[in-house]
Structure formats: structure tokens, C-alpha cells
Homo-oligomer: A and B are copies of this chain.
Amino acid sequence: MEFRLIDRIRERTVLARGDVRLGIGDDAALLVPPAGQELAVAIDTLVEGVHFPHGTPPRDIGWKGLAVNLSDLAAMGATPAWALLALTLPRANAACVDGLADGFAQLAQEHAVALVGGDTTRGPFCLSIVVHGFVPPGQALTRAGARAGDAVFVTGTLGGAAGGLRLVQGRLPFDPADEAHRALRARLDRPTPRVRAGLALRGHASACIDVSDGLLADLGHLCAASGVGAQIDPNALPVPSALRGVFGSAAARELALSGGDDYELCFTVPPADVGAMQAALAAVDGKATRIGTIVEGQGVRALGNEPLAAARGGWDHFGL
């Protein structure tokens, strides 16, 4: 039943790759993995009202759906290649589908990602996207390699997306004429997956994760997977000037610690490799800020050694 909607999406997302034997339109896509590479595969779902506010422009949703998945590949140091999209909509809405496909295609083109498969169904508005990337054997960045003494870095800035969410939720009303407001909103709606930075970190980072749930939560996951703790300096966190301008320094730091949806990379580097890592990042116009150090033990603490309570930042997802 999905044929016509998916055809619409296909037309707007055409991107030729030699390794796609058969794309959208049959029972499955047929792909040719490159010889001698590992395949990195990730899936993420975005639900209206949970991962993006009601009324978000479809183009932004399409962009963000792909961005959060490419961010997972970036965190592995993988080169993106193929994506599949499962789209659920309450009713066939051509304008929404077109916008979504256009936003998706815009980011896909930047990273030479081909949409090779899809499914459209009727139901509450949500989308699941799957991405595939390549990485040479043994070179993937996992969460598990951090050792005591490693330096902790983060790319870009933190807290901006959470600030944008606050504006959207109207705690402080969003003012489209305000440049700082627009900058924060863009951090929420149009995150930039750090794909090139992730590739540059191969061979340098000992562990890596993308910041989707908030720095404290995600660095906590990295530490748990590596069997270590971390000590961070809350004053060292890179915060967008727009965030500080709109919310003040204290709130900005809090959002940088706990706010989600920034899709920056948080990674660890052995002290001897820091210089080489910075050079590799600079070569791809990447930038990272040192925010702390890996220590023995467990958990994420501030420099003075107090534990940092993770205030609820981004969206209210759930655990069990």
C-alpha cells in the first residue's frame, strides 16, 4: 500500500551510489558492502511530541531524523552510506511528505547517503531511520576503551538544543526576531552530525559517544562501558554565547551539563595522543574542548569531587 507515498519520497531523495544494486521498490534493497570493511548499523525513532514538538516544520523533521542517526555513525567513526526510512503518518499528507523528504535529502546529499528502502504506514506521526556505514576492521570507536588518565573532550558546544527546547516550550517565549533565539532553535531542529570529526578521531580517541541524552548521561554511559569514572570541570564546558545571553551563565552551564539533543561527540584521548588528535580534527575544520579527565572508579563527578546530579534536561524518554 505504501507505493505512492514512497515513490514520492524516492523522487526527492535520488542519489546514485555504485554500491546500490537495487533501491526502493522491491521487497528488499540489494546492496554491495565494500570488501574488507565492517558494517556499522544504527536505528533511531522520532515521535511527534516526544522527540520533536508538534508543529515542527516537516523539513526539519526529515533533517533531524537522518541527523540523529548519522550522529550514531559519527560516534563510531564510520563513513555513512545507506539509509532506510519507515514513516508513519495519521493521513496521507503530500506537503508533509515532500517537506520531510526534502529535509532528509538535503543532509543525505552532504554525506552521500542513499535512501535505499522505506515503508509508509498509517498511524501516529513518527519515523524510524536506519543508517549503514563502513569502518575498517578494528578501527571503530566504541564506548569501551577509556582508561584512567585519558583526557575527556567534546566537539562544538553543549546546551544549545536544550535552550531551543525551552524557548519552543514557551517557558521563555520564542521570539523569531531575536537572533540568539533563532540560533538556539536551529540547534534543536537542525543538529549537525559530526561525521567528519568522527572519522578524524579514528586512531586517536580511546572511546567515543554522541551526546543525545545530555553530557552527564552520555559520558556516564561511556564510563560504565569502559569501567572507569570521569571528573569534569563544569566551568570548562563549551556553551554557545546565544545560550548564555538568553538564559544567563548559571542556567547555561546547567543546560550544557544535562540538556540533550546536541549531537556533539564526547570522547576520550590518551594524553600522548592529544596533539595528534587536535591536528587531525583541525584538518577537517573540527574543534574540541577539553572538559575533564578519566579516573579510576565509576560515575561522573565535578573537579572538586562532588557528584553531579543530572537534572532532567531534554525530552522525557523512558527507561525501565
Contacts and interface: CB of A to CB of B under 8 A. Distances in A.
Interface residues of A, number: 77
A45 B76 contact: no
Given A33-B39, A42-B117, A126-B124, A28 B317 contact: no
A88 interface: yes
Contacts of A221: 3
Nearest to A320: B92
A29 B3 contact: no
Contacts of A92: 318-320
Given A5-B320, A92-B320, A121 B41 contact: no
A252 B232 CA distance: 68
A2 B260 CA distance: 14
A10 B184 CA distance: 37
A84 interface: yes
Contact of A41 (B31, B140, B217): B31
Interface in A79-104: 82, 84-86, 88, 91-92, 94, 97
Interface in A1-48: 1-5, 8, 21-22, 25-33, 35, 38-45, 47-48
A72 interface: yes
A130 interface: yes
Q: Interface centre among A40, A117, A318, by most B CB within 10 Å?
A: A318
Contacts of A225: 25-26
A143 to B, nearest CB: 5
A40 B28 CA distance: 6
A260 to B, nearest CB: 9
A26 B319 contact: no
A260 B140 CA distance: 43
Contact of A27 (B32, B49, B51, B209): B209
Copies in the complex: 2
Given A88-B47, A130-B43, A316 B122 contact: yes
B84 A41 contact: yes
A128 interface: yes
A123 B47 contact: yes
A29 B142 CA distance: 10
B76 A30 contact: yes
A90 to B, nearest CB: 10
B121 A30 contact: no
A28 B133 contact: yes
8 contacts: A22-B140, A27-B209, A31-B41, A32-B38, A33-B39, A35-B35, A41-B82, A48-B123
